Amino acid sequence: MQRKYIYANLEKLDNLVFAYGIDQSDFVHGIKRLPANLVSLVGVDDNEHAVNAHTGLNVINDENEIRRYLLQSHTLPVKWLDYDEVGDLDFLTAAEIAELLYLGHMNRPIRSPFNYKLRNHYVFLEQRNGGIKIYFYYISAFSHVLSAAIIRHTLDVYRGRRRFMRSLSVPRVPDPILKQLVKLMADGLFIYFDQATVRQRQLLVPVHTEINENDIEVFDPARSGENSGTHNVATLTFNLGSGEWGLQVHDQVAFEDHL
């Protein structure tokens, strides 16, 4: 059975987030504005999307098509980066095009993932194990994506436990709580929704960090259910009556600034 949790690890030097339990829908619902243009870094489908003649890569330049592409299910891992203006790709050199192909194939850039000609803000690389790697030009944008993922998982837990009850409205996670959770990402943040409990109309979700740091490149979500490699540092709470979020801290040291 697939586990239900969020994992997020931050490499601040590269503004790279490696995550599990977060998907493209969370990206769409979390960021303030959708990218204006996307270029796919894998495969070429002449029937599905336009092809940029200079790079030979699929591109999506329509806002509605971008939204549909980001929200639909895909058979193969999705990998893309955004760019500012429609004609920006035509200014890339052969070496820069090769770097894009390398990025899509190897899941890591040769140099910076942000190209000054493309003026991109994101690089999205879906992994075969269900995880994702996202490079953010402004890392602060990730907190809104994390909030969207938490809301989605909270609704899933509620529907699973309250299948025949009234619908639930879940507001955005407040910024102070998101900032606290983001602090934990340097040590590997886990939010275990499959271990959530309900007490006195409060949903209680365990928040852990990794005890032994794992290589960000080889994180395996198929780990044991005993959490032997993680340490409980807090509990994320959601009041099912008032709709208020809270964070009960158990290990204050874990939240000290060390990024």
How far, in Å, CA of 133 to CA of 124, rounded? Answer: 6
pLDDT (mean) for 157-171: 78
Q: Is residue 33 part of a domain?
A: yes
Number of folded domains that form the chain? 2
Residue finishing a domain among 115, 139, 163? 139
| Confidence band of 1 (pLDDT split at 50, 70, 90) | very low
- Residue 155 DSSP SS3: helix
Are residues 102 and 59 part of one domain? yes
Are residues 120 and 166 part of one domain? no
| Confidence band of 224 (pLDDT split at 50, 70, 90) | very low
Which is it for strands 202-210 and 132-136: parallel, antiparallel or unpaired?
unpaired
User: What is the average pLDDT value for the chain, to the nearest integer?
Assistant: 89
Are residues 132 and 94 part of one domain? yes
Residues in CB range of 73: below 8 A, 6 or more apart: none
Are residues 250 and 212 part of one domain? yes
Torsion sign across C-alpha atoms 248, 154, 28, 125: positive
Residues in CB range of 189: below 8 A, 6 or more apart: 6, 7, 8, 9, 181, 182, 207, 208, 209
- Cross-strand bridge partners of residue 249: 234
Are residues 129 and 22 part of one domain? yes
pLDDT at 98 over 90: yes
Q: Is residue 4 part of a domain?
A: no
The pLDDT tens digits of the residues spanning 9-66 come to 999 889 999 999 999 999 999 999 999 999 999 987 777 889 999 999 999 999 999 9
Residue finishing a domain among 92, 120, 139? 139
pLDDT of residue 254: 86
How far, in Å, CA of 145 to CA of 17, rounded? Answer: 11
pLDDT of residue 163: 56
pLDDT at 165 over 50: yes
Instruction: Please give the structure tokens belonging to residue 231.
Output: 């340490």
pLDDT of residue 211: 74
How far, in Å, CA of 44 to CA of 168, rounded? Answer: 41
Residue finishing a domain among 117, 139, 161? 139
Are residues 127 and 146 part of one domain? no
Residues in CB range of 52: below 8 A, 6 or more apart: 39, 58, 59, 89, 90
How many Å separate Cα 51 from the centre of its chain? 27
Are residues 245 and 150 part of one domain? yes
- Cross-strand bridge partners of residue 18: 9, 133
pLDDT of residue 217: 46
Are residues 178 and 89 part of one domain? no
Is-contact 188 209, C-beta < 8 A? yes
Phi, psi of 230 (to 5 degrees): -130, 165
Are residues 195 and 102 part of one domain? no
Are residues 34 and 148 part of one domain? no
Which carries the bigger pLDDT value, residue 130 or residue 238?
238
Residue ranges making up the domain that contains 66: 9-139
Q: How far is CA 68 from CA 63, 74, 147, in A?
A: 9, 11, 21
Q: Is residue 78 part of a domain?
A: yes
